[in-house]
Structure 1
Amino acid sequence: MRIVVCGAGYAGVTLARSLERRLPEDVELVVVDERPYHLIQHELHRVIRRPGLADVIAVPLDSLFERATVRETRIEAIDADERVVRCADGEIRYDYAAICLGAETAYYGLPGVEEHSIPLKRLEHATEIRKRVLPLLDSGGRVVVGGAGLSGVQVAGELAALAREEDAPLEVTLLERLDSVAPNFPENFRTAVTQELTERGVDVRTRAAVRRTTADVIETDDGPIPYDAFVWTGGIRGPGALCERRPPVRSDLRLDARTFVVGDAAKAVDRDGEAVPASAQAAIREARVVADSLVGIVESWDAGGFGPRPERFGFDSPGWLVSVGDGAVAQVGPSVLRGRAALALKASVGAGYLSSVGAVRNAVDLVDEELGIAGLVDRD
């Protein structure tokens, strides 16, 4: 039997490592990704201010797996009917597959937005944002971040912190088309995030939907906004291998009997019928459920019996975390923390994840970097 894990993000790495430990040696496990590393996506914004952090949050795939075959290639299409993964360098047939390709940036057909903005999905994006912003630290100007979900909040906070560090005349504006930042989160969390942003110098503008963009002006419902650099985090779409769709899946996370879709690549509902948010914590927990399903399938396959009842995913978030420059906001149950306490909690969660995938040195370096940013440890 061959099981193919498409993508080495949070879902793919969690799933493949679990299967390595639990599947018989005669089951072939293949992990396919176009890059040779696993990116800690929720820390990517830090690279804008601390480029050296790239080495900490990009973990080589060959250090994460013990027996899985890693194939470094671009996945161009997945044919679930034929059970074939079509790659830039050939085809991979599978008995079972998990599509863990994550999501890409959506531009919604807004004129000029894709052409004139920089997304934040990859290390090269963070590098490009830094390259675009550095000259403005001397000359002054405005950086606009479109979209005030957690990614947009973190980018805006990081840019404001960079300007403050350099004592630069740089204005950071965060745009959101709805009536609050972090609009999909609880009210007390949204309120704390807004306060953290404004106290750190971010110009927050809600009900300011972007309509079109030229090389130097963003047209919004709130009027025209001139800019010098534009970062777009305003939405997500499916990966190219799925024709830019995020297919709907139920709580068993199956596209069909042989193919699962895990993490941000799918629009999933849990066993209570609730929509699952696109987030790292959801992707990791979904991957554990799919691992249980695949282990059960292999066991029944070997026994020659009927397949097991499918495992079903239930999402009950323990809380939410977002960094805002040198601070953060954390919600744990009904309680909301701000500032350094929240940042320390975020650092511990990030380090815990890195440790769980065996990247212990990276975990130590991440904690040192995060707490150094907050001034909670002496980095000298």
Structure 2
Amino acid sequence: MRVVVLGAGYAGLTLARRLESHLPAAVDLVVVDESDTHLVQHELHRVVRRPAVANAITVPLTDVLDRATVRTARVDRLDREARCVHLDDGSLNYDYAAVCLGADTAFYDLPGVEDHGLPLKRLDHAHRIRESFLDACDADGRATVGGGGLSGIQVAGELAALAEERDADVSVTLLERESTVAPAFPESFRTAVRDALDAAGVAVHTDARVTGATPDAVELADGTVPYDTFVWTGGIRGPAALGGDRRVVRGDLRLDDHTFALGDAARVVDADGEAVPASAAAAIREAGTVATNIDRLVRDDPEAGDFSPRLDPFRFDAPGWVVSVGDDAVATVGPKVFTGAPARAMKATVGAGHLSSVGAVTRAADLVHEELG
């Protein structure tokens, strides 16, 4: 029997490690990812200002996986009916699979946005943003970030802090289509984030509907915003292997009887009917449920009857939220909102806690050092 985990991000790596511990020894466990390293995605914005952080937030998969076979390949297509994964270097059949491929940047077919907007999904993206922004600093130019979700907030904060460190007269503008930044989060969190952005010197434009981009300006429904550096974090789409769709999965997190989807690759509706946000916290918790259920299915005795084993439902209880804004941070725990040193400590703890949970203890310590100095 073969179990395949597609993707080694938060959901995929957490799931694979749990399956290593629980699956019967005879089961073939394969992890497929186009990279041979795990990336702590929610710390990627730090690399824009501090390139050395890259060493702390990338972990070779062979360092944190013991039993699983790691196959470095791109997933091109998933044939669920045939239970076959088509890769760029061949194919792989499975008995059970988990799609944990994350999400790609969505450009919404806005003219020029994909051509000119720099995404932030991989290390090379962070390096490109840094290079472009340093050029803008030398010219006392302008940076524009499209998208006021957590990723956009964090990269805007890093750019403003980098400009201050270099004593450069660079304007940083954050554009958000909705009436507030971090629109998917509680009001108290949104308000504190907006205050932190204002304090960092980021100019925030809400109700700003982007309609396109040229080589030197972002086009809005009611005007233009010039730029020297343009970063686009305006949304996500499903992985190419799923045709760009983020398929809806419900409490059992299954696409079909043999295929699960979790993390940002899917639109998750939990067992209580609540939409689950695309976040690292959600992905890690979903992986725990899927690991239990795959193990239960694998161990099911087909001779015992016609009934499938009962699967655990997934329910998401948000532990709180945290976002960095340059050298500041905003965090929530229950109804309480924290900023300053307590929030910065929480932010460092989140990344370090994840690294520790996947066995990268040394890198966890390095990240705390980079975050808190």
Q: Give TM class, smaller chain.
A: over 0.9
Alignment of 1:184-199 (within 5 A): 184-199=184-199
Amino acid at match of 1:158: E
1:341 and 2:332 aligned: no
Aligned-pair identity in percent equals: 61
- Partners of 1:62 and 1:70 within 8 A in 2: yes
**Partner Cα distance (2:317, 2:3) in 1:** 28
1:364 and 2:365 aligned: yes
- Partners of 1:207 and 1:222 within 8 A in 2: no
The Cα of 1:222 is off from its aligned counterpart by 4.2
**Partner Cα distance (2:157, 2:302) in 1:** 52
- Partners of 1:301 and 1:307 within 8 A in 2: no
Question: What secondary structure is seen at the aligned counterpart in 2 of 1:119?
Answer: coil
Amino acid at match of 1:332: V
The Cα of 1:348 is off from its aligned counterpart by 1.1
The Cα of 1:262 is off from its aligned counterpart by 0.8
**Partner Cα distance (2:112, 2:56) in 1:** 34
Amino acid at match of 1:168: A
What's the RMSD between the two structures over aligned residues? 1.0
**Partner Cα distance (1:66, 1:19) in 2:** 11
Could you report, residue by residue, the CA deviation over 1:135-162 in whole angstroms, capped at 9, with x for unpaired residues? Answer: 2222111110000000000000000010
1:170 and 2:173 aligned: no
Could you report, residue by residue, the CA deviation over 1:210-243 in whole angstroms, capped at 9, with x for unpaired residues? Answer: 1111001111134211111100000000000001
1:329 and 2:335 aligned: no
Could you report, residue by residue, the CA deviation over 1:239-292 in whole angstroms, capped at 9, with x for unpaired residues? Answer: 000010111111100000000001110111001101110000000000100001
**Partner Cα distance (2:75, 2:351) in 1:** 28
Amino acid at match of 1:246: R
Could you tell me which residue of structure 1 aligns to residue 219 of structure 2? 219
Question: What secondary structure is seen at the aligned counterpart in 2 of 1:198?
Answer: helix
Question: What secondary structure is seen at the aligned counterpart in 2 of 1:51?
Answer: coil
Could you tell me which residue of structure 1 aligns to residue 26 of structure 2? 26
The Cα of 1:74 is off from its aligned counterpart by 0.6
TM-score, with structure 2 as normaliser:
0.98
Alignment of 1:209-248 (within 5 A): 209-248=209-248
Moved over 6 A (4+): none
TM-score, with structure 1 as normaliser:
0.96
Alignment of 1:23-172 (within 5 A): 23-172=23-172
**Partner Cα distance (1:208, 1:339) in 2:** 29
The Cα of 1:83 is off from its aligned counterpart by 0.2
Amino acid at match of 1:30: V
Could you report, residue by residue, the CA deviation over 1:342-365 in whole angstroms, capped at 9, with x for unpaired residues? Answer: 011110121111100000000000
**Partner Cα distance (1:257, 1:61) in 2:** 28
Unpaired segments ≥5 residues, structure 2: none
Could you report, residue by residue, the CA deviation over 1:294-340 in whole angstroms, capped at 9, with x for unpaired residues? Answer: 11112214875543112211011010010110010001000000122
**Partner Cα distance (2:238, 2:117) in 1:** 19
Question: What secondary structure is seen at the aligned counterpart in 1 of 2:137?
Answer: helix
Amino acid at match of 1:226: P
Amino acid at match of 1:350: G
Count how many residue pairs are aligned between Structure 1 and Structure 2: 372
Amino acid at match of 2:357: S
Alignment of 1:253-268 (within 5 A): 253-268=253-268
Amino acid at match of 2:351: G
Alignment of 1:275-294 (within 5 A): 275-294=275-294
Amino acid at match of 2:337: V
Amino acid at match of 2:287: A
